[in-house]
Amino acid sequence: MQKIRYRLVFNRKKHLNKQGTALVQVEAKLNQRNIYLSTNLYLLPEHWDKESAQVVNHPQSVELNAMLFEFLIHLQGIELGYWKRGIQPTLALLRDAVRKKTPATVSFLAFARSAITTSDKRQNTKDNLMTTVAILEQFRPGLDFADLTYTMVKEFDAWLRDQGKSINTVAKHLRQLRTLINEAIRDGYIPADSYPFRKFRIKQEKGRHEFLTPDELRNLENLIVQDPRQQHVLDAFLFCCYAGLRFSDFCQLKPGNFIKIHGKKWLHFKSVKTGIELRLPLHLLFDGKALNIVDKYDIYEFADLGSNSDTNKTLAQIVALAGIKKHVTYHTARHTCATLLIHQGVPITTVQKLLGHTSVKTTEIYSEILADTIVRDLKLIKRRGKL
């Protein structure tokens, strides 16, 4: 294992800019390869001594040389940080660390927050990842990269269960921890051969996809609430029960998403999650109830619900007021839409297209069969003399 060598170089390209100055750079060399890192210091040729590699004959020579020395120490600190974590420093890792301005002593939790904030993930995904980071902070404050072992993952799993978290909630946080660890490995903070999830299997139960029955949906339709926020969330939830939208798709709605085809209003949008374009004939779905709701609002205000977690908290209050004893989240609206369409006899392949699923197998997850649907179908078969 070799150490990176550093030296200061001036005017490497032998070219002065319009001001007659040139850049001072740090040459980092390892295994016969080198990279050049900018110090952001430009000098006149007479202010640089090549032999001693320092600033001379400049009114601020002392301060500038101190600045250059500190930069070299900073680079060596980054390299040392990799050694301490058991990672062979490379020129690529060094360059990336300088570009991201990441301190060599950054903790895993600090890294995770920075990685989430600067990522191009959807805001809802970022919020979920930040929730897991906050829980990790409770579990083990100051969690470092060296702490990320198979044993730590097992202890985190057991701790979450001791906190009363369900199996699927535990699985969600473990998956999100795994995502953050993979990011740390890609950025060179953890050696790939130290991957803690290599032999750890995340346990998960087959989830129960809750839906509302026609009677429960009517209870919500007839519910009278006084709080404007609750009314807004209730209307938005009912709209999605009639249109089958995800929370992310609802929140991106704008006036231009509502178009007319042959004089009838349709909803046209591209799914945030899948990128699939959908056209929904709102006037044909559930007797056009979605249109009756949306006409009460300015679209921008209607789609502005805030965060998914806050919306779900308000929704839980509304469901309780309606006397519905189910765990209802915003996604329940999408499941309710699919289930009730199948209940009305709509073919599952049509429901698949309305929901924007690429595979009918995905749609089958949503196709809970209501008891009276079974009775209706059996009676139909009996009338045909086939039972």
The two beta strands, 48-49 and 33-43, are unpaired
Report the predicted TM-score, pTM, of the whole model to 2 decimal places. 0.58
Average pLDDT in the chain = 88
Q: Measure CA of the first residue to CA of the last residue in the chain; give whole Å.
A: 78
What confidence tens digit (pLDDT) does each residue in 321-363 have? 999 999 899 999 999 998 888 888 888 888 888 888 877 777 7
Phi, psi of 177, rounded to the nearest 5 degrees: -60, -40
Q: What is the rounded distance in angstroms from the CA atom of residue 180 to the CA atom of residue 186?
A: 10
| Mean pLDDT in residue range 186-209 | 83
Q: Strand, helix or coil at 284? A: coil
Query: Strand pairing partners for 269?
Result: 278
Asked whether 325 and 319 are in contact (CB, 8 A), the reply is no
Q: What is the rounded distance in angstroms from the CA atom of residue 141 to the CA atom of residue 148?
A: 13
182, pLDDT greater than 50: yes
Structure tokens at 191: 């050696």
What confidence tens digit (pLDDT) does each residue in 117-130 have? 988 888 878 989 99
Domains along the chain with CATH numbers: 5-100 (no CATH), 108-194 (1.10.150.130), 214-383 (1.10.443.10)
103, pLDDT greater than 60: no
Structure tokens at 263: 């004089």
CA torsion 40-42-47-53 (nearest 10°) is 40
